[in-house]
Amino acid sequence: MPRFAAWSAERARAIIDDYRDTSGALLPALHALLVEFGHIAPEAIPLLAEALTLSRADVQGVITFYHDFRTTPPGRHLVKLCRAEACQSMGSASLEDHARHHLAIGWGETTEDGEFTLEPVFCLGNCALSPAVMVDGELYGRVSPERFDAILASAGQSTAAPEQTP
């Protein structure tokens, strides 16, 4: 399960400084901040802009352009569902619907209890075993709604479906 450091401007400056003299430093610096903190805190934008001599708008534009960058902390468990064509052809749309309904969140959102963040991915490289899901960096293939529930349950939380009234 991913564990991230609490936001620290001092630590963020040190990370950014590691990339200051690198050509095209913004993307590697953003990825390094994401690895360290789990998200790009809004406070990082002026630090990046100043250190890399960019405008804040340029930094914000890159963050919002790439779906890999999130600006809020993720849940304790990061759930990525493959949305590539191979997975779609093998039924990932019904798995996506199940996941969003079951967790009661949309793409890029975190459950109220902070357990799960649901993110789309556009290829997990597991086409032969579609549909694919990655939870906390572990890849699963041939995931049905029932298997999805079991995977999340093993990640630390029961995902029993809410009771339906007839």
Binding site membership: which residues?
Answer: 82, 87, 123, 127
Residues at the binding site for [2Fe-2S] cluster are 82, 87, 123, 127
Contacts of 153 (CB under 8 A, 6+ apart): 159
Instruction: Dump strand ranges (E) for the chain.
Output: 77-82, 116-121, 133-135, 138-140
Measured from the Cβ of residue 89, the count of other Cβ atoms closer than 10 Å reads 12
Question: In what helix (H) or strand (E) does residue 108 lie, and over which residues does it extend?
Answer: none
Q: Which residue has the tokens 């995977």?
A: 151
